[in-house]
Amino acid sequence: MSTQKTKVRIGVDIGGTFTDISIMDARGGIITKKVASTVDNYARAIGEGLAAAFGENALGGADVAELLHGTTVASNAILELKGARTGLITTKGFRDVLELRLLRMPRLYDLLWEKPPALVERSLRLEVDERVDAKGKIVRPLDPAEVEAALDRLLAEKVEAISVCLLHAYVNDAHERMIRDIIRRRAPEMVLSISSEVLPEIKEYERTSTTVINSYVKPVVGRYLKSLTADLKGVGITAPLLLMQSNGGLTPAEVAAEMPVHIIESGPAAGVIGARALARRAGFDKVISFDMGGTTAKAALVENGEVTRAEEYSVGGGIMIGSRLMSGAGYVLKVPAIDLAEVGAGGGSIIAIDAGGAPQVGPLSAGAFPGPVCYDLGGTEPTVTDANVVLGYINPTELAGGAVKLHAEKSRAVLAEKIAAPLGLPVERAAHGAHLVAAANMIRAIKAVSSERGRDPREFALVAFGGNGPLFAAGMARALGIRRVIVPPSAGVFSAVGLLYSDVEYHLSRTYRQRTTALDLPGLVAAWQALEDQAREKLAADGFRPDQIHLRRFAKLHYKGQAYELSVPMPEGPVTEATSARLDQAFGDEHERTYGHRAGPGEPVELVSLNLAATGELDTLRDTGGGMAAATAAPGERQAYFGPEHGWLPTPILGRGHLVGRDRQGPVVIEEYDCTCVVPPGMTARLDPHGNITIDTGIAA
Amino acid sequence: MTTASFDPFEFELFRNSLLSVADEMALTVHRTTYSTVLRDNLDYSTAFFDGRGRMIAQGFSLPAHLGSMPTALAAVLARFEGAIRPGDVYALNDPFHGGMHLPDIFIFKPIFVDGELVAFAGTISHHTDVGGRVAGSNAPDSIEIYQEGVRIPPMRIYDAGHRNETFFELLLTNVRVPDMVAGDIRAQLAACHVAEVAFTDLCRSYGIAKVQRLTDAMLDHSERMARAEIAKLPDGTFTFEDFLDDDGIDVGKPIRLKVAVHKTGDRILFDWTGSSPQVRGALNATLSFTKSASYCGVLSVMEDRIPNNEGAFRAIEVVAPAGTIVNCVHPASVAARGLTGFRMVDTVFGALAQMVPGKVTAAGDGGNTNISIGGYDAERKPYIFCDFTCCAWGGRAFADGLDGNSHMFANMAGQSSEVIEAEQPLFVECYELLGDRGGAGQFRGGAPYRRAYRFLGEEAVISIRSDRRDIRPYGLYGGYPGGASMNVLTRAGGAPEVYPAKFYGQLRRGDLFVHETAAGGGWGDPLEREPARVLKDVWNDFVSAASARELYGVVLTADGRSVDLPATEALRGRIRTARGWQETPYALRETPKQAVEWPERQA
């Protein structure tokens, strides 16, 4: 997969409200374009947006080297229950694994709770009388006639897709393969997923749920990609289409169509990858990415050039409601995904006073409609954006180059009436308090990915983006003891830009449960070899040369009996007698780092699974041109409030170009087309060679 | 809100920080723990107290632990107040000295800043084994506390930073899985350590005096929140009684739980007078546990989330006479009192359903069944399989009871059959929902599950604690009761035998134990259920065609694909007449007898 250097590369990120397009030209210049999403068919906005962008920039479809795409089409199909009518074939006695889930619910004291409906109705979950035990031995052989009967029933029920998940198929997949072959023979066109191919790992609920989701979204994703490919042809683009996966790597559209389970959380991943690329370029090896939009804020960690990944997550269960322990919402997917902590805090979060007299920010949100009171679209409750308007942080009359008109006086009036007066505070104090409480909520997301994993946030730089991220980032950084904040160019459409910095990735894994003191070394060597062969084969099929392929091996281990594994890099070099001790050592170190303690030397450590991350590096220009022109217009100025300590201060209102060749002491506000960046007093903003605003928060090293 | 020395936003920011400390403690326990009970069932809680021992923030917690933490710390203070030093750590588990039952070990760490005692961090974890006559220390059939395991009165387990080796050696010598217990205690200590570091930081940035004023304000704030919510509920007295089948010793003798809920203005009182005297079997609850069940009931009908701390509990009073099953005295056995807690919640819901019918459920499965199987492997190393599990919710005024969902009182996770088989000498033959058990109703009670375990080791002891065999989960407002629970043991080569709801016995290779949980009670008259919902239940095997006719009066067409509406109307009329209700019964524990013949029964 190589790219002609004279061509442009395009990133397209679809959100619920906007579709963002970024185009990187042959010299590394980036053009961005924001168009309204077309919810009935998301592909349409892409075609239309590209046609417009091509027109404005004298480009044509033939100039495109490749199109990189992040999409929420698969997660929407699940959240809206609009996937395929799916049937399930499973082991006798285990028909209800999908419905029993893990029994727990994500909320206490809530008798109104409804379980998310199973993606396969009970009448479409059929059993076959077979059984494999935990060691892979066949205890009851499978009778093909029973499979035929189950298939007859599912075909009569007109299912569009079938999943097969048998007990212990991760250790012996013979029966699943038999069923697959029967279905292929009888119904060659049937969409089919078998658990030993989708997720060959122990734990039947997680494996069944993941396998079912793959079937459930596959027809939807397939139709979408077909429609998109046609629309792209319509604007003359025949270049390869690559999709962002939940794990932060790209995958060719054909592979995504076959295994859509990897692109479910495609949307939020690109921003984190963009932050990683930026960190590498700007010379930071540890950054926290912070993405805040209108309704939610998300944080993720990048360390030594690697994003932190979670091995499972729940679609529709991502927002933290108080505690990360309150699991049980949504649909479980056990595939590697960027570990994002998400809180329900955004510009639209509503400020209110609770029955005990304490001010609260969120969890209710005014959303995009009616939105903040200052939009004057019918909003009646004060929001975080209203507070930022009152504080003078957000332009009092317009946003997005005049596309959105604001009414600052309405923000002020509603905050005064509903918050400041009942609490007996001046309105700016109330607005500032609300700003800080919103920041505190988001700080919990940052702690969830850092200090709760034994990482000290003070050692990291904060990369802020999204429409609202740069408004809060500097203040939050100071509260966390973070010294440096980075606000990239096009911060408001950074997810689309992030796509341009991604590589093709495959994550392969297999369960391999052995005590480290009793490793079957030849078995281990063979298992790694099999995974590596599989990865090289996949990347070669995608057109990568051997020198473009990079493999990283990780082992997941735990103290025998623990529920959670920790991932450590597999010791370099061949697997030998010494491997066991080195694994023990690496695991103990990581355990101590993450949890603050390690067990005694006699404590048995168990290897749980082998994981391979395989990257195919796109042969492409990775650096932006930088070289921003200095702004010539005179800066504006308005009053902004920075808390009781500083009060109202006359604050220069700048464009990014005003920072060229000149550091600026806070307070300043930098207004751009797609976002606003606040630099409080005591901090310094400057521009780095790549066009990033870097803010020194004034905390001593 | 007082604005004397801090503004309301400063208060909110502080509260946010403190809640995040308590949560971080909970995450620490979860991540570092060893045992399944803790890691999957989350049978632990964390809390944070001020220097006077008042609970100001509870992290993630099991509702069953709500009332326990303040009682336990009070016991530590009663014994050690004035002698508490930096670096000390205290523990206890004795129900007659602040504990609840022996597997629940409480650990408290005092936090000093500048030499001043400013706070306590506390954790409670259910340990897999604390010794005693039965592996797992959960046996329902012990008859005195001395049989149940190691009793820890309030003790100093770290003395100014020095580990009390005597304590640890004595404890770990007396438990069956010392590595696991030691690991889980380490997890509790790690959580206390996390709290100490974070709270010390808070004190440094706010100053100790201000922190004290802010924590006082947190208690007052929760109290105001709770009172505002209680004031919204209708005034009056609402009484209800429910029963446990028996204590497993005096078999067949039901145990009464009775509550009168008095609600006036912004106060609510739970009076448990009239409940049975304490029993010989291990179902006796401490007052702290009865408080937990009462708090859990009232929190469930509040609209706003009230921050759990002692302020909130000031508005809720609990009365329980000493020497009864709801406030037992020495030497009562208590190990299996969890069951009594669930029944107390059922009893509270039965009372609250009269006060606020839209907000609570009919009785659920009556949870939670405890299955403990323990023995020694070929190398004479002990193993214990321990599962606490429940499954079915009662019907609600607006929706069916949930099929396959934990009871909120102890929101525990189900264990993976594959992991059970990989780690234990057990083979799981099935794990599935059962049709025709959920109590019929306009809103059906939840379906229970069946799980079957075949034993593959040489020999083990099995200890089962279940209930709702004789006295089924009640239905409300005309809803029928849920189906009973069941235990069946099939000896290798033998025939299936029904076993009591609570028993203790031996397992040998090849024996098969099957447990079925009880089902949820229904809500509302089943003859009012939308026929289309009955049809869907038939398709999905939650209701058989025969039950659709007999219980719901719904007749399906010959192909089973749709409802025969005229025949349904007619049949419902006949059932109404035969049933002869003068008024809709409030609570049903028996299925009303069906006097209706249905001659045209289809094959």
Question: pLDDT by residue (tens digit) across A324-344?
Answer: 566 667 899 998 889 888 888
The CA distance from A493 to A615, in Å, is 25
Q: Are B340 and B285 in contact (CB under 8 A)?
A: yes
Select the more confidently predicted residue: A565 or A86: A86
By mean pLDDT, which of A396-400, A619-623, B471-475 is the weakest? A619-623
- Which residue is listed with tokens 């072959």? A181
CB pairs under 8 A between A and B: 223
pLDDT score at A571: 85
For B37, the closest chain A residue by CA position comes to A563
Q: Do the Cβ atoms of B431 and A94 come within 8 Å?
A: yes
Measured in degrees and rounded to the nearest 5, phi and psi for residue A465 equal: -155, -170
Out of B20, B30, B359, name the one closest to residue A447 (CB).
B20
Out of B180, B194, B299, name the one closest to residue A109 (CB).
B299
Residue type, A399: L
Residue A691: pLDDT above 90?
no
From residue A701, give the alpha-carbon distance in Å to each of A279, A479, A696, A697, B26. Answer: 19, 15, 11, 11, 32
Instruction: Kindly list the residues from chain A whose CB atom is less than 8 angstroms away from the CB atom of residue B454.
Output: none
pLDDT score at B2: 44
Select the more confidently predicted residue: B431 or B61: B431
pLDDT score at B601: 44
Q: Do the Cβ atoms of A323 and B429 come within 8 Å?
A: no
Q: Is the peptide bond before A363 cis (omega within 30 degrees of 0)?
A: yes
By mean pLDDT, which of A194-203, A228-237, B300-309 is the weakest? B300-309
Out of A139, A433, A561, name the one closest to residue B9 (CB).
A433
By mean pLDDT, which of A304-318, A519-533, B38-52, B512-526 is the weakest? A304-318
The CA distance from B340 to B348, in Å, is 12
Residues whose CB is less than 8 angstroms from the CB of residue A331 and which lie 6 or more positions away in sequence, other chains included: A78, A116, A119, A209, A213, A314, A315, A316, A317
The CA distance from A262 to B541, in Å, is 34
Residues whose CB is less than 8 angstroms from the CB of residue B466 and which lie 6 or more positions away in sequence, other chains included: B369, B370, B485, B487, B501, B502, B515, B517
Q: Do the Cβ atoms of A359 and B8 come within 8 Å?
A: yes
In this prediction, the answer to ipTM > 0.90 reads yes
Give the tens place of pLDDT for each residue, A25-35.
877 778 888 88
Best of A103, A334, A607 to disrupt the B interface by mutation (most B CBs within 10 Å)? A103
The CA distance from A600 to B598, in Å, is 70
Residues whose CB is less than 8 angstroms from the CB of residue B286 and which lie 6 or more positions away in sequence, other chains included: B71, B95, B99, B100, B327, B328, B334, B337
Mean pLDDT of A589-614: 82
The CA distance from B281 to B162, in Å, is 39
Residue B19: pLDDT above 90?
no
pLDDT score at A405: 87
Instruction: Kindly list the residues from chain B whose CB atom is less than 8 angstroms away from the CB atom of residue A424.
Output: 3
Q: Where are the alpha helices (DSSP H) in A94-203?
A: 97-100, 144-156, 174-186, 195-198
Out of A102, A451, A564, name the one closest to residue B31 (CB).
A564
Residue A82: pLDDT above 70?
yes
Task: Return the C-alpha torsion angle B555, B559, B563, B567, nearest 10.
Answer: -40
SS3 percent helix, strand, coil of chain B, rounded to 5, is: 30, 25, 45
Instruction: Kindly list the residues from chain A whose CB atom is less than 8 angstroms away from the CB atom of residue B225.
Output: 354-356
Q: Do the Cβ atoms of B541 and A122 come within 8 Å?
A: yes
Residue A133: pLDDT above 60?
yes
Q: What is the DSSP letter of A629?
A: P
Residue B472: pLDDT above 80?
yes
For A604, the closest chain B residue by CA position comes to B179
Select the more confidently predicted residue: B390 or B593: B390
Give the tens place of pLDDT for each residue, B571-599.
999 999 988 899 999 999 988 875 455 54
B183 reaches A (C-beta below 8 A): yes
Q: Predicted confidence band at A322 (pLDDT cuts at 50, 70, 90)?
A: very low
The CA distance from A629 to A649, in Å, is 28
- Nearest CA of chain A to the CA of B314: how many Å? 14
Q: Do the Cβ atoms of A357 and B30 come within 8 Å?
A: no
Contacts of B540-543 with CB under 8 Å at 24 or more apart are B540/A121, B540/A122, B540/A123, B541/A122, B541/A123, B541/B435, B542/A122, B542/B403, B542/B433, B542/B435, B542/B436, B542/B438, B542/B444, B542/B447, B543/B435, B543/B436, B543/B438, B543/B444
Residue A122: pLDDT above 90?
yes
Domains identified in chain A and CATH numbers: 8-77+222-266 (3.30.420.40), 82-217 (no CATH), 360-433 (no CATH), 504-616 (3.30.1490)
Instruction: Kindly list the residues from chain B whose CB atom is less than 8 angstroms away from the CB atom of residue A356.
Output: 1, 220-225, 228
B588 reaches A (C-beta below 8 A): no
Which among B47, B50, B56 is positioned nearest to B23, based on CA atoms? B47
Select the more confidently predicted residue: A650 or A623: A650
Out of A97, A121, A597, name the one closest to residue B190 (CB).
A597
- Which residue is listed with tokens 């139709």? A223
Residue A400: pLDDT above 90?
no
Out of B3, B302, B427, name the one closest to residue A424 (CB).
B3
pLDDT score at B473: 97
Surface of B (374-393) touching A: CB under 8 A: 389-391
From residue B279, give the alpha-carbon distance in Å to each of B2, B147, B327. Answer: 49, 15, 11
- Nearest CA of chain B to the CA of A528: how many Å? 22
- Nearest CA of chain A to the CA of B346: how many Å? 13
Instruction: Kindly list the residues from chain A whose CB atom is less than 8 angstroms away from the CB atom of residue B46.
Output: none
Q: Do the Cβ atoms of B8 and A433 come within 8 Å?
A: yes
pLDDT score at A624: 54
